[in-house]
Structure formats: C-alpha cells, structure tokens
Amino acid sequence: MSTGTIIALVVLVVLIALLVALYFFGKKAQKKQEEQQSQLEATAQTVSMLIIDKKRMRLTDAGLPQVVIDQTPKLLRRSKLPIVKAKVGPKIMSLICDEKIFDSIPVKKEVKAVVSGIYITSVKGLRGPLEQPKKKKGFRAKMQDKAAEMQGKLKEEEAKENKKSKKKK
C-alpha cells in the first residue's frame, strides 16, 4: 500500500472514532437535560409578579445570591444571562429567565409567571394576552426591501412612459 492510502485510512478511523464518541456524549447530555427539565417541572409554582426591569447581564453583576454564583461553573460566570428584576409580593427579587421567553416579558407590567426556584420558565399576562414584540429587521432584509421598493417605482415610471408614448401615436 502507498503512504497516501495509509494516511487516508488512519484519518478515516479517527473520524469514525470521533463520531462514535460524540454520539455517546450527546446521548448522555440529552438524558441529563431531560432529568433537569423534569426537576424544574416538579418544583414549578405559578406566581403573580410585577416586572421592574429586564437585562442581559453577567451572573456576578446580577445581584443573585452568593450560593447560586458558587454553584455555577466558572466558565458560565462570565457569560451573560437574561436577568429579570421583579416585585414578588413585598420582595424585589432578581430572577433568571428562560432565553425563549425573555423577549416576550413586558417591562413595568404585572404578569403570572411559572417560577421554579429562581428560574422563570413561562409567562402569561395577568390582564389579557401579552403583546409579542416585533423582531428587528437585519441589514440584509432592509436592503432587500429598499431594492424591491426602487424596482416598483421604476416599473411605475416605465408604465407611465409607455402610456404617454401610446397616446402620442
């Protein structure tokens, strides 16, 4: 065998081993996530709260209890999390919010939230449905809209010129 085929076989074996390892790690992580999700659902409570403020901020700057900061892995302490300051009863608390519902939480409004410990998993409007915020358009989408608008104007001008030329004939 030539050296090229040997190298190709070695690379192929390494890639297959890597894929098998990723498969088993993924299965293990999925089981962990399902277990954590069931624990969150078991301890969930529905609470009425007034949302004071919401921000994405670092865990150390969020004003969460020291026990929470100590329990988080060191790499996650520097990452930004969706934090909600809310008045729950007479207390003002800092809560961590689920990333999926963070944008739909209204500021300075009263809501019913499903809370598991210090983690908000879902939110419903206390007085009527929540307003869904409009997503901002990206740069590319804005440019495409402008281009379509310009093409529409050009077609209108061409149509007007064609009508004028037909009337002259």
Q: What phi, psi does 149 have (nearest 5°)? A: -65, -45
Q: How many domains does the chain have?
A: 1
Query: 23-32 b/e with 16+ CB inside 10 Å = b?
Result: eeeeeeeeee
What is the residue range of 90's domain? 44-125
Model pLDDT, residue 25: 95
Is 0.85 topped by the overall pTM?
Answer: no
Token look-up 């192929």 returns 12
For residue range 88-131, list pLDDT tens digits in order. Answer: 989 999 999 989 999 889 888 899 999 988 899 989 887 777 76
Model pLDDT, residue 169: 62
100: CATH? 2.40.50
Tell me which residues of the chain have a pLDDT lower than 70.
Answer: 131-135, 168-169
| 135 within a domain of the structure (yes/no) | no
| 59 within a domain of the structure (yes/no) | yes
Model pLDDT, residue 15: 97
